[in-house]
Chain A
């Protein structure tokens, strides 16, 4: 079945360490996204990528980095510069063609990765 796989599901990090969250999709989607969710809050956009080897900052990109070397993969690195990294991280993907032709930006989300800084 097609979908998005995020790993790990739970991750613990010591302060000062970088960690990388994996996101893989087999939906043949062009666009991929990373969101952060804090308890009781909505989702905030970290980075998004519309095409391989290209990505744009979202609203809260500071302290994060991404790469898009393959269409299927969009890993997120939470660096030591991110002062409050404990959160639920969600990866999503969508077709870009559909956004232009039909107006719908239908995102498919992964199950999320919960990062806790000790």
Chain B
């Protein structure tokens, strides 16, 4: 399984963009990169995923480095409701197992 490295915590001001980094230097060419987030005392929720190209959806954007050894989740305007733990998860091709690390705890200041 590809190993990931994320900062333990990050802080942001409300209404400002947030860039959450993830290193996955052992990722293989067919591993998709997933991002999930977990609000306090809730189950995680899917945010976004990608393989090689940058991806956008209504929740966030995902920027994937050209060598795929790192990616960045971008929240364009952080709100207080975005305060959560964000998990970066490379998925091994054809596997149904998603391995969650410790993630990054995002604090959003009003």
Is B97's beta carbon under 8 Å from chain A? yes
Query: Known: A103-B32, A110-B43. Is A48-B97 also a contact (CB below 8 A)?
Result: yes
Interface 9-mer from A12-20, A77-85, A92-100: A92-100
A75 at the binding interface (Cβ < 8 Å): no
Closest to A45 in B: B97
A-B contact count (CB 8 A): 59
Q: Is the CB of B99 within 8 A of A45?
A: yes
Contact assessment for A112 and B87 in the assembled complex, using a CB-CB cutoff below 8 Å: no
Q: Answer yes or no: A11 CB below 8 A from chain B CBs.
A: no
Please, which residues of chain A bring their CB within 8 A of the CB of B80?
none
Q: How far is the CB of A10 from chain B (nearest CB, A)?
A: 11
Which residues of B75-110 have CB atoms within 8 Å of chain A's CB atoms?
87, 91, 93-94, 96-103
Given A107-B46, A110-B43: A48 in contact with B96 (beta carbons within 8 A): yes
Asked whether B44 lies within 8 Å of A100 as measured between CB atoms, the reply is no
Q: Which residue of B34, B43, B46, B97 is within 8 Å of A58 (Cβ)?
A: B97
Q: Please count how many residues in chain B sit with their CB below 8 Å of the partner chain's CB atoms.
A: 23
Is B74 among interface residues, defined by CB-CB distance under 8 A? no
10 additional A-B pairs beyond A44-B100, A45-B97, A105-B91, beta carbons within 8 Å, are A41-B102, A103-B51, A105-B32, A107-B46, A107-B98, A108-B46, A109-B42, A110-B43, A111-B43, A112-B41
Q: What are 25 A-B interface contacts by the 8 Å CB criterion?
A: A31-B96, A42-B87, A42-B101, A42-B103, A43-B100, A44-B100, A48-B97, A59-B99, A90-B43, A94-B96, A99-B94, A103-B49, A103-B51, A103-B91, A104-B49, A105-B32, A105-B34, A105-B96, A107-B46, A109-B42, A109-B45, A110-B43, A111-B42, A112-B41, A112-B43
